[in-house]
Amino acid sequence: MIGTILNVVGILLGGLVGLSRPRPLLANTESFFRVTLAAFTVFYGLQLTWRGLGGSFREAARQLAITVLAMILGRLLGKFLQLQEFSNQLGQYARAQVEDARPDSPELVGRGFRAATALYCAAPLGILGALYDGLSGYFFPLAVKGVMEGLATMGFVRVFGPGVLVAAIPVLAFQGTITLVSNQLLLPFLEVHGLVNSLNATGGLLIFSVALVMLELKRIALADYLPSLALAPLLAWLWR
C-alpha cells in the first residue's frame, strides 16, 4: 500500500500547492520534472525486467521468449477488447469537463471530481504500479504517478477549486484494492508455481515504455498491453 499512499499524498500536496500558488509552474520546471521522472522510470523498469530474466542463460532466454510472446498476444487481446480506446475515451471525457468548466457553474465541484477521477483511475501506470506494490512492495511506479498527478492537480484546482482533492479517495480505493488482492491472493499462487519472474520481466518492459510516453518519443497504446500481465504467467506455466 506504500505506493498508493504516496500517490494519494502527491495528489493532495499538488492540490494544496495549486491553491496557495496562483501562478502555474514554468515550462522549464515542468520539463525538468518530466525528464527526471522518465529517467528514473527507465532505470527501474529495466531493473525489474533484469530481475525477471535472472538465472542461467537458458532460463533467461526462456523468460525473454515468454515475455515477447506475452506482449505480442497481450497487445492483440487488448486491441480486441479496445482497452486503449476506453482509456482514451475517459481522457476525452476529462478534457471535456475542463473545457466546459465555468467559474459560476453550480456543477463546478462535481466536474472537477469527475475529471480528476477519470484521469487518475484510468491511467495504466496505476494498474501496473498497484499490482507490483502488492507483489513485491515495488512502489516506485506509483511514486512517479503521484508526482505526475500532483502536477496535474495543481492545474485542476485553479479551474475547479478544492473539490478536486476528493478524487484521492477513489484512487485510494481502486489502487488499494488491486494491491491487496495481488498481495493476498495472486502472490502466493505465483510463488508456489514459480511464475513471479515472468510477471517481473513483462511488467518491467511495460514500465519502461511509460518513459517513452512521458518524453513524447513514441505513442504507445499502453493499455492494450495490460493483458500481457495475465498471459505471461500463463505462458510460463505452460512452457515448463
pLDDT for 209-226, tens place per residue?
Answer: 988 888 877 788 899 999
Length of the chain: 240
Enclosing domain of residue 162: 2-21+28-238
C-alpha to C-alpha distance for 158 and 22, rounded to whole angstroms: 7
DSSP letter at 195 equals: -
C-alpha to C-alpha distance for 69 and 75, rounded to whole angstroms: 10
- Which residue's entry shows cell 533467461? 60
C-alpha cell at 233: 504467467
Q: How many CB atoms lie within 10 A of CB 13?
A: 15
Cβ within 8 Å of residue 127, ≥6 positions away: 178, 226
Tens of pLDDT, residue by residue over 48-106, are 999 888 778 888 899 999 999 999 999 999 999 999 999 889 888 888 877 776 776 77
Domain count, the chain: 1
